[in-house]
Amino acid sequence: MLVLVNNAGVRDDGLAIRMSHDQWRSVLDTNLDGAFHCTKRALDPMLAARWGRIVNVSSVVALRANPGQANYAASKAGLVGFTKVIAREMARRGITCNAITPGVIETDMTADVADALVEHVPARRAGRPEEVAACVSFLVSDDAAYVNGTTLTVDGAMSA
């Protein structure tokens, strides 16, 4: 089973007008460039096997912008676009590529903002990592063989 889950994510928040080049680059380098390099490396063995599953973990911020997160939103929206391109390029070769856009999930990355954001979540709670993992499990399974190039939002109706 040849599976790649691109799940790297960092934030370095600040208003766009005050954001340094280093803040911008560090977030894009990790969140978007990292997924590109890992995907490129994973594709050769997937092509040889004529089977593969790629899941890119983006963010609800790719769909619903947050002030102060221009770098993060750009990197995660770019990841959604990248997902669609890889899906189109690899569809005939038995390789699927999908994205997941989690909302507020209980992780170290959201520990400093989760409480403030939960009030904007219709479900009135943060998601659990296990709930995102269950979606990844589905997308890498044979049951999802015809699911390709899509974005699965896991956000408690935050983007609805």
pLDDT in tens, 83-106: 999 999 999 999 999 999 999 898
Q: Give the C-alpha separation, 87 to 148, whole Å.
A: 6
DSSP 107-140: SGGGTTTHHHHHTT-TTSS-B-HHHHHHHHHHHT
Q: Is residue 29 part of a domain?
A: yes
How many structural domains are present in the chain?
A: 1
Domain coverage including residue 106: 3-154
Question: What residues act catalytically?
Answer: 72
pTM over 0.85: yes
Q: Would 83 be classed as within a structural domain?
A: yes
Tokens of 99: 């994205």
Does a structural domain hold residue 159? no
Q: Is residue 160 situated within a structural domain?
A: no
For residue 114, the model assigns a pLDDT of 60
Average pLDDT, the chain: 94
Phi, psi of 69 (to 5 degrees): -130, 45
The CATH number that applies at residue 41 is 3.40.50.720
Residue 86 domain-assigned?
Answer: yes
Residue 82 lies in a domain: yes
Could you tell me the two tokens for 147? 């699911």
**Does residue 58 register a pLDDT over 90?**
yes
Average pLDDT over residues 6-29: 97
111 pLDDT more than 70: no
Q: Is the pLDDT of residue 71 over 70?
A: yes
